[in-house]
Amino acid sequence: MKVNSLQYQHTHYAALGSPWSAKADRIQSATGILLGCFLLAHLHFESSILFGKETFYHVVQFLEGGMFSSTGHGMPIVTKVFSIFIMLVVMLHAAVALRRFPAQLGQWRALRNHMQGIKHKDSHAWFWQLVTGFILFFLAPVHIFTMITNPEIGPHLSAERVYHANAWLLYALLLPAVVVHAMIGLYRVAVKWGLIRHRKGLRKAIKVLIIYLMTLGILSLISYIMIGRSLVLPITPFVP
């Protein structure tokens, strides 16, 4: 049985027109903002490797609560606990977001026909958020689970994970998906809740931000690969 665009929209929005849907929208927006802000901070903290091993080392010690330690060294348990928290937020965000995901082939066809008929930039942005969200459903938990089970971070330890454990393959796929998904998500939240009305200017800002974050992430990844190539197994943790 074929499902046309009108049928899909009617069924889709009828299912969403409930008090739970309004609450789920708020949860999705709140968790999306939290994860988007976390991504912005995470990519910048990771990029401290571009300023050298010692800079990255001190950033890690600071984030892991080194100032509260008698030795001045950070505590990996902080990374573990925070990673568990982020995993729970991701699970909650995915749970409420999945209700909007086209579940049947006919719905995907209806969405494609709708996009071909109506050349609307926000509709295309939503489509790419769906695609990247699908990719992240598989990739993000792998990365977060790795940080839960192996929370040790440092110039040498992180480079070992990236190069010798071939995690660069995961990050090469994860980086564009998470950046595009998060930035489009922040744009849609700003528009949805009336935080900004100048969509054209905001879209330009989001495109610039995507390019900037992608560049930052790629340069950081290359730095870890170069450091990893110079290391000899077994790895000795970096200490300045």
The pLDDT of residue 194 is: 79
Q: Residue holding tokens 């077994």?
A: 234
Which residues does the chain have with pLDDT short of 70? 1-18, 102-121
Whole-model pTM: value is 0.85
Q: With contact defined as beta carbons under 8 Å apart, do 139 and 177 qualify?
A: yes
- The CA distance from 192 to 189, in Å, is 5
186, part of any domain: yes
Annotated binding-site positions for heme b: 42, 93, 143, 181
Q: 238 lies in a domain?
A: no
Q: What is the pLDDT of residue 71?
A: 76
The pLDDT tens digits of the residues spanning 37-59 come to 999 999 999 999 999 999 999 99
Tokens 């910048």 belong to 44
pLDDT at residue 3, as a whole number? 43
Tally the domains of the chain.
1
The per-residue DSSP string of the chain comes to ----HHHHHHHHHHHH-SHHHHHHHHHHHHHHHHHHHHHHHHHHHHGGGGG-HHHHHHHHHHHTTGGGSSSS---HHHHHHHHHHHHHHHHHHHHHHGGGS--SHHHHHHHHHHHHHS--HHHHHHHHHHHHHHHHHHHHHHHHHHHHH----SHHHHHIIIIIT-HHHHHHHHHHHHHHHHHHHHHHHHHHTTS---HHHHHHHHHHHHHHHHHHHHHHHHHHHHHHHH--SSPPPP--
Domain membership of residue 144 as a residue range = 20-229
Contact 151, 214 (CB under 8 A): no
Nearest-angstrom CA–CA distance, 8 and 105: 11
pLDDT 10s digits, 91-118: 999 999 887 776 554 555 666 666 665 6
User: What residues form the annotated binding site?
Assistant: 42, 93, 143, 181
Residue 38: inside a domain, yes or no? Answer: yes
DSSP run (H or E) holding 116: helix 105-117
With respect to residue 73, please indicate whether it lies within any of the assigned structural domains.
Answer: yes
Kindly give, in sequence order, each residue whose CB lies less than 8 Å from that of residue 95, ignoring residues fewer than 6 positions away.
none
CATH code of residue 145: 1.20.1300.10
Whether residue 12 lies inside any domain: the answer is: no
Residue 50 lies in a domain: yes
In a domain? residue 180 = yes
Domain assignment of residue 237, yes or no:
no
Amino acid identity for residue 2 in this structure: K
